[in-house]
Amino acid sequence: MASGKQRADDIEIDEHDDFEVDEGEHFITQDDILAEVPDDGDAPMDEDDDEVPDLGEGSSGVIDDNSVQHFTGHTSSVFTVSCHPTEPLAASGGEDDLGYIWDITDGEVIVKLTGHTDSVTSTAWSSDGELISTGGMDGKIRIWRRVGKDNYRTWEFLTELQGPDEVMFLRWHPKGNVLLAGSNDSTLWLWQLPKGTTMQVFSGHTGAVNCGEFSPDGKKIVSACADGTLILWDPRSPTPVFKLGPEDARFALDGITSIAINPSSTLAVVGGAAGGVRVVSLTKGDITGTLGGHTEGESIEAITFVDLTGSGSGPGIAVTGATDGKACIWDLSTMRLRATLQHEDAITGLLTHPAPKAHIVVSASADKTLKTWDARTGTLIKTHKAHRAAVLGSSLGLGGAVVISAGDEGLCAVFTTENTDEDGNMQP
């Protein structure tokens, strides 16, 4: 770890430079690279020939099942699922130490993602869908890439990234092949792919880095840890831009569990383990609001932003979900509660549709269901049922037409977010 702290003074950056990623251009130069990650010699991954068993009608043990497809390749709890940006593919990871790329239209396994020695807790596609990353409790981050240009059904192992003690989350840069990971050992890591070169190791947290995000404009990183510290970073520098922590009584959140950044990259909404929610200005580095709609002592597990105007400007509309089963919709221009959405158990995930239906929100819950809502009015559009246990992961695919869920009983399910056609078929 010492080497990750030696290079802060070696980089000269014009303070007026914008942090941008243009097509064919990297936002950090070769001179900024910390160290090469050695090739471990893994051979390309062959397609897996295992057949996925069909659950059959009623075999899920659920009376109501309005899913359009099941994936049953995992043998125990599924912790994470991610939909490909454009193709009908999903990547899932679970307690069985395995990941899979699978076809959401028929449940077919495309590739078994092996190499982890503990639970796979994170999966994430690059912004162009050419790379898939898996992260685990073993501290490994493994990368696969698409082979050829004809289709998305052939993948090969690319490299393994090491450094984190235990991977808490993975995020790809919105405009380039740069990967961010939070670690249980209080560090934050940044790599450039496909070479797998380490770009930064951020040190400044004192607890497990539970959550982190690139800003939508790609110029900032916000990270937060279990000890209640929030840090804003310039990705080109290992020195924090600003830091907020529990020493400021207004920011005492009993540990930070979730964050989200608004579409204009000016505000972050931060959720805590004790039910508190704070709004933080990323331009001024101070607290601009306190949102108090959740039950005290109930952890904020998910936050997302809804762009009701389609402009992407202004403070925005935020949705916060907690273990009290409530999702609260907030107008950040007034700091007022617009509507409250209700589940029967803890909310585990919140997803926002892309334009032109950016007013649609999907919530996932430990009550075994997912729900689609109209955030403009708080109206329930559809309840999604297939699981026999808590929904632990969720992701939107095909431009928001489908939602994929990952369950504690080992099932992944595919639902249409709104309605199917008259024959009950999924509409891509």
Which residues of the chain carry a pLDDT beneath 50?
1-62, 421-428
Question: Any idea how long the chain is?
Answer: 428
> Can you tell me whether residue 351 is helix, strand or coil?
strand
CA angle 41, 113, 23 (to 5 degrees): 80
Can you give the pLDDT at residue 205? 96
Indicate whether 52 belongs to any domain: no
Can you give the pLDDT at residue 307? 85
Indicate whether 1 belongs to any domain: no
> Can you tell me whether residue 251 is helix, strand or coil?
helix
Indicate whether 154 belongs to any domain: yes
Indicate whether 122 belongs to any domain: yes
The DSSP-derived string for 254-280 is SSEEEEEE-TTSSEEEEEETTS-EEEE
Please tell me what DSSP assigns to residue 281: E
Q: Domain count for the chain, please give it.
A: 1
Can you give the pLDDT at residue 312? 64
Can you give the pLDDT at residue 127? 96
CA distances from 94 to 46, 206, 420 (A): 20, 28, 29
Q: Which domain holds residue 314?
A: 111-386
Indicate whether 369 belongs to any domain: yes
Report the distance separating Cα 261 and Cα 161, nearest Å: 27
Indicate whether 257 belongs to any domain: yes
Closest to 186 measured CA to CA, from 171, 199, 170, 201? 201
pLDDT digits (tens, 9 = 90+) for 25-73: 444 444 443 433 344 444 444 444 343 334 433 334 445 899 999 999 9
The CATH number of the domain where 221 resides is what? Answer: 2.130.10.10
Indicate whether 128 belongs to any domain: yes
Report the distance separating Cα 287 and Cα 289, nearest Å: 6
Can you give the pLDDT at residue 21? 43
pLDDT digits (tens, 9 = 90+) for 171-224: 999 999 999 999 999 999 999 999 999 999 999 999 999 999 999 999 999 999
**Sheet of 69-71, strand order:** 69-71, 412-416, 402-407, 391-397
Can you give the pLDDT at residue 310? 67
Indicate whether 225 belongs to any domain: yes
Can you give the pLDDT at residue 419? 67
Question: The whole model's pTM is what?
Answer: 0.84
